[in-house]
Chains A and B, each alone.
Chain A
Amino acid sequence: MATLSINSLGKVYPGGVTAVSDVNVDIADGEFIVLVGPSGCGKSTILRMIAGLEGITSGDLQIDDRRVNDLEPGERDIAMVFQNYALYPHMSVRGNMEYGLKNEGLPKAQIAERIAEAARTLRLEEFLDRKPANLSGGQRQRVAMGRAIVRDPKVFLFDEPLSNLDAKLRTQLRAELKALHKRLGATFVYVTHDQVEAMSLADRIIIMSNGKVEQIGTPMDLYLRPASRFVADFIGSPSMNVLDGTVSSDRRSLQLNGSHQIDFGAELPAAAGNQIAIGIRPEHLHQNTAGETRIELSVGFIEQLGADTVVHGTLAGSQSPLAVRLNGVQARDSGDSIALSCGRDQIHLFDGTTGQRLNWDNQ
């Protein structure tokens, strides 16, 4: 059980690659933090710096108010689950789980007790004497988890632990992981590039791009108030529609491509003639004209998902991509046009050049 405090953390790899710069976050005791972002954005680097596997170039790392920058991985009281599990292939499942405890010099009886308990929790009892090579992917994953649990560490670190599993198992283990977190009440730092995993697991998400933090917040914060165009695009599936436009001279409406004019009924937080972008989630667009904001979609192709239908296409009369999620099974032909609308409070605004969120009166 521990707090984790990260202050202006930075990493430059030998060779000059800046993998991470200026990360600040305070992680509370027992919090489930998920680091998410596209490949190469520096998630693993941050996790490995917390673990002590990678040197810290700049900034401070504290576990329970103790600066740990210069401690060896073994002295930090953390446990880590690797993407490839990193099970010791020459040891049995029991041997794998015992290893860390033996190194700590724990009495034999206590080791046996902890392993029995972890094996029960993770349903590994019947596999204790098997070698990792003779286990399925899901079982190996649980052994890796078990090896972390028995250590009873202050912080658990996970680097994409579910990414080598098939979709169904992934969903199942996601639920188990969440339950485990609840039961242990420990601090979890979890890396993934899958936004669904991030949304479903996290108490708070740290979303990154190019080594920088884009936003830190609860899943709903990120969904409802994305701090930038990048976050808006990354969180949610299908992604948020983002349409570029020009602020009108009275600053109360936006001229989009394809002769669409969006009225805001309030002053926009940008100067006349400026480029800004609006964002509307596909699930917030409806097939009626009840909302204040109306646009027309020219159908390209449709995805039938059963419970709902995602229609992809373009904003009528332009090349800007646009998608909408409609309820139930819907048939549309390519080239059809659909009139859509949404409430003003569902519209997000982003600066045209920086991509940062612009807040405006109606929200």
Chain B
Amino acid sequence: MQKRVVFRSRLLPYLLVLPQIAITLIFFFWPAYQALESSFFIEDAFGFSRQWVAMQNYVELFEDPSYLRSFKTTLIFGVSVAVMAMSISLGLAVAANRVVKAATGYRTMLIWPYAVAPALAGVIWYFLMNPSLGIVAYWLKNVGVDWNHYLNGDQALLLVIVAAAWKQVSYNFLFFLAGLQSIPKSLIEAAAIDRAGPVRRFWTIVFPLLTPTTFFLLVVNLVYAFFDTFALVHATTEGGPVDATSILVFRVYNTGFIGQDYGSSAAQSVILMGLVIMMTFVQFRFVERKVQY
């Protein structure tokens, strides 16, 4: 059977993909090009004049210790969010996979956080952890932890990590659950007969078979943490105290809109774009080719 559709008109296929191409061009390529262009200029705050400076914006960025610190912060933030969100959701997925009764109920409940807007997720955690009225901060005080993310940079970073991870758990959970359910039950049974206990079964059979899912989620979570957490940081710590939570995306905004240094902001977004392209490449290169069991 012929699977390919054959169009009689030569024009029709192009017409059909036109909207898609138009959207991509107008909303992705055009702004990207604008950012790339601006990154080579220094512009005055009102946009009246600009001056070609070639790579100067980039050079300044990499000579700025606080920008380099942001790189490190972003890396710590991204890896922590990914690891935390993934391990919690894997745990939940394994538990939910064992549940027989009311399984859909649990699943629905676990999916809800994903529907919460990032800014709102930030605000929820912000209230929970607020040093003067937050319930979690109160509990922490009772166990002897003096929580104040307004002053303590590490605590502030921890707060945004937890908030960002919490929001991503639902998404990961869905994928892990689907991954777990696609592992044939007879494999687990064969391992049980082969004298592997539940823990050993998990690490030698289940976890390796989840590798494709895990790798896919790792990339997705890193991309999320690096590029999709602006609203969350903005709503909670605003990058502070003293840049402690100023991750790269947040910095782009801060430099551009608060500092009004459009050239540097543009250069930063070009660097971020480069990162996204790299990660997407890694994902296509490895995830797609990874053996699907």
Contacts and interface: CB of A to CB of B under 8 A. Distances in A.
Interface string A43-75: 000000001110000000000000000001111
Of B184, B186, B189, B193, most A-chain CB atoms within 10 Å? B193
Nearest to A84: B186
Contacts of B208: 90
Interface in B159-217: 184, 186-187, 189-197, 200, 204-205, 208-209, 211
Interface residues of A, number: 23
A104 B186 contact: no
B245 to A, nearest CB: 40
Contacts of B62: none
B186 A74 contact: no
Interface string A108-134: 000000000000000000000000010
A74 B293 contact: no
A100 interface: yes
Given A82-B186, A103-B200, A89 B195 contact: no
A99 B191 contact: yes
Contact of A53 (B187, B192, B195, B204): B192
Contacts of B211: 90
A77 to B, nearest CB: 9
The dominant DSSP class at the A interface is mixed
Interface residues of B, number: 20
A151 B209 contact: no
B184 A84 contact: yes
B200 A80 contact: no
A78 interface: yes
Contact of A74 (B184, B195, B204, B291): B195
A74 B205 contact: no
Given A88-B205, A90-B208, A100 B186 contact: no
B192 A86 contact: no
Of B187, B194, B208, most A-chain CB atoms within 10 Å? B194
B193 A99 contact: no
A193 B216 CA distance: 42
B291 to A, nearest CB: 8
A227 interface: no
Given A53-B192, A133-B293, 10 more contacts: A51-B189, A52-B192, A74-B196, A74-B197, A80-B193, A82-B189, A86-B184, A86-B190, A99-B196, A103-B195
15 contacts: A52-B193, A53-B189, A53-B192, A72-B192, A73-B193, A74-B195, A74-B197, A78-B193, A82-B189, A88-B187, A88-B190, A90-B211, A99-B196, A104-B195, A133-B293
A-B complex: 6 closest residue pairs judged by Cβ atoms = A100-B194, A74-B195, A86-B186, A103-B195, A86-B190, A89-B293
